[in-house]
Amino acid sequence: MAWDSKYVKYQLAKVDGKSVKVYQDRFNCINVSIGETVNNALWSGNDLNVFLASGKVRRYRDQYNYLLI
């Protein structure tokens, strides 16, 4: 599965402690629970890269599935 195109097109993700808010427009977002402290979250094409305080980077292909890179 992949991110819905409305999130990929808007490409805004905000760090909120141990989660990331992924926006589809100015007012609507989904919350992705990470479970670890997040330093940064950046879009890379259709994937969301989440940089953790532990130094690890997770690449989210959708709201639930990720790979460690």
Supply angle C-alpha 17, 9, 67, rounded to 5. Answer: 50
Tell me: the pLDDT tens digits for 17-66? 999 999 999 999 999 999 999 999 999 999 999 999 999 999 999 999 99
d(CA 18, CA 24): 20
Total domain count, the chain: 1
Range of the domain at 50: 5-68
**What confidence score (pLDDT) does residue 36 get?**
96
**Using an 8 Å Cβ cutoff, are 24 and 7 in contact?**
yes
Q: Reply yes or no on whether the pLDDT at 1 is more than 90.
A: no
For the entire predicted model, the pTM comes to: 0.93
Confidence class for position 5, pLDDT limits 50, 70, 90: very high
